[in-house]
Amino acid sequence: MNKKVCILYTGGTIGMVPTDRGYAPKKGYFHSLLDEIAQLRYDDMPQWDLVEFDPLLDSSDVSVDEWNAMGQAIKERYDDYDGFVILHGTDTMAYSASALSFMLEGLGKPVVFTGSQIPMCQVRSDGRDNLINSILIAAQGTACEVSIFFGGKLIRGNRATKISADDLIAFTSPNYPTLAEVGIDIRYSKRALTMPVQAGEFKLRRMEHIPIAVLKLFPGMRFDLFEPLVTNDMKAVILEAFGSGNIPSRNTALIDSIMRATENGSLVAVCSQCYAGTARLGAYATSGELKDFGAVSCLDMTTEAAVAKLYYLFSLGLDDAALRRALGTNLRGEVSV
């Protein structure tokens, strides 16, 4: 196999070592770990290069600047490789994979995020398997999109959500089928791999720092205390509402804040706090006012994808009407419409 894969190592448990303060990444160490994995040099493995980021991060510290750095690293090497693997912490992997799915416009090669729950320096690490399969998937060129490979499954990056802090199957894609199952063979699902067609060549769209908020509702919430979050200087607020997008309707404090937020020019978007399913504004009377006041439903998008999509759409500089339209449009397979 003379395919070439570029591995971008950004940090995360996969390359961490124990320290006095808990697990942390260690500069320059990961290469030595890879040297010990004989399979990485078998004839049926593609060629690969490793690019180590500086600083290496726990993914809790990954944000807009790091997304731009990942995008830039791919852009600079795009023509030199058949695919890319991004080694990343699991905690915010679904956010980063969602962000990159939007930022890498016209992507025609696989970009596979992976990592591990147990560091590679430990005997039971899941990192070796995740890494080897991700390299193969990146080289095969079948899933030409941003995906996450973890625990034997390849899933669409912007459909993924982290479901376990402990299990080796740490991610799932509640509202979209798996792209590939990895057993004795790597079995792709042709149907799941369908994507909206994008016009134009590959291009990196950088993300800007945009003030947005996510507000998870809970019974008994004192909405007056959260009012500034909804109304002050926010470009957008994602409400994680109950069920199919419902909010308390007998206490009008929230709906009043939403009205003021909309008058201030902020966009109010609604996701469901359910693990699976769709936010359908107007299905119940308790979401009717959200609709009346111009809130936009994120339908079956994960909150991770909705956050990334809002960063992206505001970074495009769209006007309000175009942005609202784009939020409900399937751009990269992130939403069922």
Out of 58, 105, 227, 256, name the contact with ligand ASP by CB under 6 A.
Answer: 58
Interface with ligand ASP by CB under 6 A: which range of 11-19, 41-49, 146-154, 200-208? 11-19
Interface with ligand ASP by CB under 6 A: which range of 56-64, 172-180, 245-253, 282-290? 56-64
Q: Kindly state the tokens that stand for 254.
A: 């929230």
Q: What is the largest CA-CA distance in the chain?
A: 67
Q: Is 13 in the site for ligand ASP (CB under 6 A)?
A: yes
Angle among Cα 265, 266, 271 to the nearest 5 degrees reads 145
Is 13 a catalytic site residue?
yes
- Phi first, then psi: give them for residue 101, nearest 5 degrees: -60, -35
Which of 282, 266, 279 is CA-nearest to residue 335? 279
Determine contact, residues 111/123, Cβ cutoff 8 Å: no
Give the residue closest to ligand ASP by C-beta.
89
Nearer to ligand ASP, 9 or 188 (CB): 9
Report the distance separating Cα 12 and Cα 238, nearest Å.
27
CA 2 to each of CA 28, 36, 136, 183, 289: distance values in angstroms, whole numbers, following the listed order: 27, 22, 12, 24, 58
In the set 13, 161, 231, 303, the catalytic residue is 13
Q: Is 117 in the site for ligand ASP (CB under 6 A)?
A: yes
Interface with ligand ASP by CB under 6 A: which range of 30-38, 57-65, 103-111, 215-223? 57-65
Q: Is 12 in the site for ligand ASP (CB under 6 A)?
A: yes
Interface with ligand ASP by CB under 6 A: which range of 88-96, 148-156, 247-255, 258-266? 88-96
Determine contact, residues 327/285, Cβ cutoff 8 Å: no
Nearer to ligand ASP, 58 or 256 (CB): 58
Report the distance separating Cα 119 and Cα 122, nearest Å.
6
- Phi first, then psi: give them for residue 320, nearest 5 degrees: -55, -45
Nearer to ligand ASP, 90 or 158 (CB): 90
Number of residues that bind ligand ASP (CB under 6 A): 11
Report the distance separating Cα 77 and Cα 57, nearest Å.
22
Q: Is 26 in the site for ligand ASP (CB under 6 A)?
A: no
* Binding stretches for ligand ASP (CB under 6 A): 11-13, 58-60, 89-91, 115, 117
Active-site positions? 13
